[in-house]
């Protein structure tokens, strides 16, 4: 009785401090429910459906959703899955082994930058791959796959990219290489169709004159004694080889004669030639091409570089755009000071209320940053703050950890509300990246009046 009851409700399984969610069909996946669990166990008997479920999870947008550890229930699948984007098998009874893996992965997931939506599709996919590689602590090794148009695929990318778009896999990994987020070790070379990027290409020898594939290959024979060279059929006389020029019998290859090369005969136009034209024929789109037109691509195995590691922890936009300057409408400190002084004069002489808002970020609460990640961090903070400002408001960044804002023509009520909003949102951005949730922002709002100093 007890067992039955457990079976009916055992969608969530507890093991020590961990919660496992068991899913028995793709329809049962619910990102909100999955969110509250540490890992997912797929107990789906149909391999295709299991695969679709994995793809669905890996294609989610939130870090903790798409990186979720996934295990396959051992009994559920009797044939190999086409994807390699899961984290292992489990017998669903003994959870000790997958608990260990789950903890390791989740520990690393907590370090991944909670990225906002990256507008650039390729950059977004790249970030996801980097994050997967980082959280699994693996090399991204290519594997041969008949289901990928490239003939190769990669774990995680196989779930992210639809099979018919598999050339995107190359574009994403090439972007990672170019930005030095991956280092690659060459593993193979493939040749792709110029029209559809498929690697399923048939190579054939054709007649250089009429391009027919109906050609016959013939051995040439070179008779040492008289130096006569002719196709083998000219030497064939009953069961022996006899030279048509000097009438001697040919006995031993290497002693009497050799076969220096081959000749081709076109059965369509009867052209005779020695060098056939090599042509490719694409199995997928039927395009015929000369083989030197095919696009050669290198297949690499990848590992994260220290820069790639940093991108996972602090965000991709920051590094890729880190050479860009802070937006121009952010004032320099000295100019801000000048404007502040002017506003003090204005507020004293006229009946207007403006406010000076100073925001400090507790440096000790933020992961240590390099100079380039600091620039990106600053940009992100500024863009959040600016989202709440009017075009007449002014802002300066004293450092990556201190921002000063001049709120013009507002009242204390609105200024207070704005301060609260900005503080909350900055707090959210920063604490999203932290395991502990502490107060990280300190703000000070002062009315603009005589005697106010910037410091
Ligand atoms: Zn021909
Ligand atoms: Zn001869
Ligand atoms: Zn093609």
pLDDT of residue 152: 94
SS3 410: coil
Element (H, E) at 455: none
**321-447: what fold?**
Alpha-Beta Plaits (3.30.70)
Cα 297 to middle of ligand 1, angstroms: 32
Cβ–Cβ under 8 Å, residues 42 and 86: yes
Cα 164 to middle of ligand 3, angstroms: 12
Rounded CA gap, 340 and 394, in Å?
A: 9
In this prediction, residues 412-433 reach a mean pLDDT of 85
Q: In degrees rounded to 5, what are phi and psi of residue 76?
A: -75, -25
In this prediction, residues 88-114 reach a mean pLDDT of 91
pLDDT of residue 314: 82
Q: Is the pLDDT of residue 185 over 70?
A: yes
Rounded CA gap, 138 and 78, in Å?
A: 26
pLDDT of residue 297: 92
pLDDT of residue 301: 94
In this prediction, residues 55-61 reach a mean pLDDT of 94
In this prediction, residues 98-127 reach a mean pLDDT of 88
Cα 231 to middle of ligand 1, angstroms: 18
Write down how long the chain is.
455
% of the chain residues with pLDDT over 90: 52
Q: How far is CA 143 from CA 43, 123, 147, 148, in A?
A: 25, 23, 11, 10
* Residues having C-beta closer than 5 Å to ion ligand 1: 207, 209-210, 212, 266, 268-269, 271
Residue 412: count other Cβ atoms within 10 Å of its Cβ. Answer: 11
% of the chain residues with pLDDT over 70: 91
Identify the band that residue 347 occupies on the pLDDT scale cut at 50, 70 and 90.
confident
Identify the band that residue 7 occupies on the pLDDT scale cut at 50, 70 and 90.
very low
Cβ–Cβ under 8 Å, residues 181 and 307: yes
- pLDDT single digits (tens) 135-172: 999 999 999 998 889 999 999 999 999 887 888 999 89
Cα 210 to middle of ligand 3, angstroms: 23
pLDDT of residue 117: 66
Cα 271 to middle of ligand 2, angstroms: 26
Ligand number, closest to the Cα atom of 250: 2
In this prediction, residues 267-278 reach a mean pLDDT of 94
Residue 125: count other Cβ atoms within 10 Å of its Cβ. Answer: 22
pTM for this predicted structure = 0.64
Cα 227 to middle of ligand 2, angstroms: 6
**Separation of first and last alpha carbons in the chain:** 72
Beta-strand (E) ranges in 208-364? Answer: 215-223, 229-231, 236-237, 240-242, 249-250, 257-258, 262-266, 272-273, 277-282, 288-290, 295-304, 355-361
Ligand number, closest to the Cα atom of 264: 1
- pLDDT, mean over the chain: 86
Ligand number, closest to the Cα atom of 149: 3
Ligand number, closest to the Cα atom of 224: 2
SS3 351: coil
In this prediction, residues 307-332 reach a mean pLDDT of 70
Cβ–Cβ under 8 Å, residues 79 and 144: no
């Amino acid at each position: 009785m007890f067992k039955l009851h457990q079976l009916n409700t055992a969608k969530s399984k507890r093991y020590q401090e961990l919660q496992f969610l068991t899913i028995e069909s793709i329809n049962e996946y619910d990102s909100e429910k999955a969110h509250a669990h540490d890992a997912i166990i797929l107990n789906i008997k149909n391999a295709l459906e299991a695969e679709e479920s994995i793809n669905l999870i890996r294609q989610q947008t939130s870090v903790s959703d798409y990186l979720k550890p996934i295990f396959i229930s051992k009994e559920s699948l009797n044939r190999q899955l086409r994807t390699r984007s899961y984290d292992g098998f489990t017998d669903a009874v003994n959870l000790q082994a997958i608990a260990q893996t789950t903890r390791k992965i989740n520990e690393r997931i907590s370090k991944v930058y909670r990225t906002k939506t990256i507008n650039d599709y390729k950059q977004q996919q790249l970030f996801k791959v980097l994050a997967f590689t980082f959280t699994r602590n693996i090399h991204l090794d290519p594997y041969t796959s008949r289901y990928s148009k490239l003939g190769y695929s990669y774990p995680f990318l196989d779930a992210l990219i639809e099979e018919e778009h598999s050339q995107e896999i190359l574009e994403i990994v090439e972007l990672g290489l170019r930005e030095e987020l991956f280092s690659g070790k060459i593993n193979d070379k493939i040749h792709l169709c110029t029209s559809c990027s498929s690697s399923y290409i048939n190579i054939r020898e054709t007649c250089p004159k009429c391009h027919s594939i109906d050609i016959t290959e013939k051995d040439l024979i070179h008779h040492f004694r008289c130096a006569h060279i002719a196709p083998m059929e000219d030497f064939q006389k009953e069961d022996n080889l006899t030279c048509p020029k000097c009438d001697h019998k040919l006995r031993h290859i290497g002693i009497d004669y050799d076969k220096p090369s081959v000749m081709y005969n076109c059965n369509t136009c009867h052209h005779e030639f020695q060098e056939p034209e090599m042509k490719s024929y694409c199995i997928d789109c039927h395009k015929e091409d000369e083989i030197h037109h095919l696009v050669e691509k290198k297949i690499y195995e990848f590992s994260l570089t220290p820069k790639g590691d940093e991108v996972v922890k602090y965000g991709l936009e920051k590094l890729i755009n880190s050479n860009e300057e802070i937006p121009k409408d952010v004032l320099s400190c000295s100019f801000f000071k000048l404007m502040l002084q002017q506003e003090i004069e204005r507020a004293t002489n006229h009946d207007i209320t403006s406010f000076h808002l100073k925001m400090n970020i507790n440096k000790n609460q933020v992961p240590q940053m390099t100079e380039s990640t600091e620039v990106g961090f600053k940009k992100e903070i500024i863009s959040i703050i600016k989202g709440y400002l009017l075009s007449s408001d002014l802002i300066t960044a004293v450092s990556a950890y201190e921002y000063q804002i001049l709120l013009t023509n507002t009242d204390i009520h609105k200024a207070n509300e704005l301060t609260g909003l900005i503080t909350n949102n900055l707090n959210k951005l920063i604490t999203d990246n932290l395991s502990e949730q502490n107060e990280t922002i300190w703000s000070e709002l002062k009315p603009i009046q005589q005697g106010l100093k910037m410091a």
